[in-house]
Amino acid sequence: MQYREMKGGDKVSVLGYGCMRFPTNKDGSIKEDKASKQLFYAIDNGVNYLDTAKPYHGGRSEPFVGKFLEENKLRDKVYIATKLSGWYIKETKDFDKIFKEQLKDLRTDYIDYYLVHGLNGKSWAKLKELGVLKFLDKLKTKKKIRNVGFSFHGNIEHFYQIVDDYDWSFCQIQFNILDTEYQAGMKGYLYAVKKGLSVIAMEPLRGGRLAQTPPEKVKEIYANSGYKRTPAEWALRWVWNYQGITTLLSGMNQMKQVKENIKISKDSFSGSMTREELQVIEKATKVYKKLMKIGCTGCMYCFPCPYNVAIPSCFEYYNGYHLYKDEKYKTWYKNFLGDKAKASLCVNCGQCLPKCPQGLKIPDLLKKVVKDMEQI
């Protein structure tokens, strides 16, 4: 495992474990045996950064991570990253209330990396008004948090503002071959590095999309490159190629994913990709951007829908249909979603809109899904 140095001196594994996508049962609960085996393997092979948050897995992620670390006496072998999710904060006293709950759930006395979660201009303004800066300073003074950062899902101007508003140690941005001009993007990455922040990459595989079998044109580009690499390896190597990326987060939910990502990480050094390799990525990216219709990462923040629309699944089948030009995605849409979770159940209530970190106009996009997937 490679390690890169965070601002503050910690040596962090270049592969971080994203605890938002553990394997789950049908009722949404975490398959704890499988998840534990995957975490054990990752930690045994050098992964030392675990990223979780209060809302992940419907509130189950932090308690599971805390239980796992305590029962296996692994707390001192990893850095815990978790988040202050602003949507839980209605008044100033909620800051302390939520943080105490997190310490209890994680079974720890302190947090190594504490992030203000999913910021954009509006949410940052609200939290500042409620006193988030004083709250963060207090936690640092009391040594309840070691490093303070933020994760981001807004536009670039808001990103600049947030970086300049506080003495952050690090930031977490969506960073992959498709999103160089989206949200913080490449401009945000460069600005954060210039300001001396460590940068953590989330969604390096775009919710797993970039690890799946690619469209034929992309498959041909990779096959003709002269390198025998999986789509995931191409995408991960591209992220690690940037020296300012301290670690990337992978939401691994299968052991084969854990093993593959660890293997790739061992020799994916910063600045190691050749000009020819980067040109391969550039060609593949152009094809992806042309074919992919909806930038959903399957994060599930839009759940639950009051009308039971399976929003991420609707978008997954829709994207698959357009990426692969294959009618089977229409069949899967009909068979798996049926009349109980299909896009046409949307009544445009708008409850999903403020929840989407990608800023997708979900009701409007669902209408496109209906047109292509239901009107057969």
**pLDDT tens-place string over residues 86-123:** 989 999 999 999 999 999 999 999 999 999 999 988 89
What is the reported pTM?
0.84
Please give the Cα distance from 228 to 223 (Å, whole number): 7
What is the predicted pLDDT for the residue at 318?
Answer: 87
Interval 246-293: pLDDT, tens: 999 999 999 999 999 999 999 999 999 999 999 999 999 999 888 878
What is the predicted pLDDT for the residue at 98?
Answer: 96
Poorest-pLDDT segment among 200-214, 267-281, 292-306: 292-306
DSSP 301-341: TTPPPTT---HHHHHHHHHHHHHHT-THHHHHIIIIITTTS
Per-residue pLDDT band for 154 (boundaries 50, 70, 90) equals confident
DSSP 21-82: ---B-TTS-B-HHHHHHHHHHHHHTT--EEE--TTGGGGTHHHHHHHHHHHTT-GGGSEEEE
Mean pLDDT score, 298-320: 87
Interval 22-42: pLDDT, tens: 999 988 899 999 999 999 999
Per-residue pLDDT band for 324 (boundaries 50, 70, 90) equals confident
| Every domain range in the chain assigned CATH 3.20.20.100 | 3-273
Per-residue pLDDT band for 376 (boundaries 50, 70, 90) equals low
Mean pLDDT score, 344-373: 91
Please give the Cα distance from 33 to 3 (Å, whole number): 28
Interval 122-149: pLDDT, tens: 899 999 999 999 999 999 999 999 999 9
Whether pLDDT at 335 is above 90:
no
Does the structural domain 3-273 have CATH classification 3.20.20.100? yes
Per-residue pLDDT band for 313 (boundaries 50, 70, 90) equals confident
Query: Which stretches does DSSP call E strand in the chain?
Result: 3-5, 11-13, 15-18, 49-51, 79-85, 111-119, 145-152, 170-174, 198-202, 245-250
Per-residue pLDDT band for 68 (boundaries 50, 70, 90) equals very high
Of residues 95 and 295, which shows the higher confidence score? 95
**Cβ contact 244:12 at 8 Å:** no
What is the predicted pLDDT for the residue at 140?
Answer: 96
Mean pLDDT score, 227-237: 95
Interval 172-190: pLDDT, tens: 999 999 889 888 999 999 9
What is the predicted pLDDT for the residue at 230?
Answer: 95
Whether pLDDT at 333 is above 90:
no
Please give the Cα distance from 357 to 182 (Å, whole number): 12
- The average confidence (pLDDT) of the chain is 93
**Residue % of the chain over a pLDDT of 90:** 76
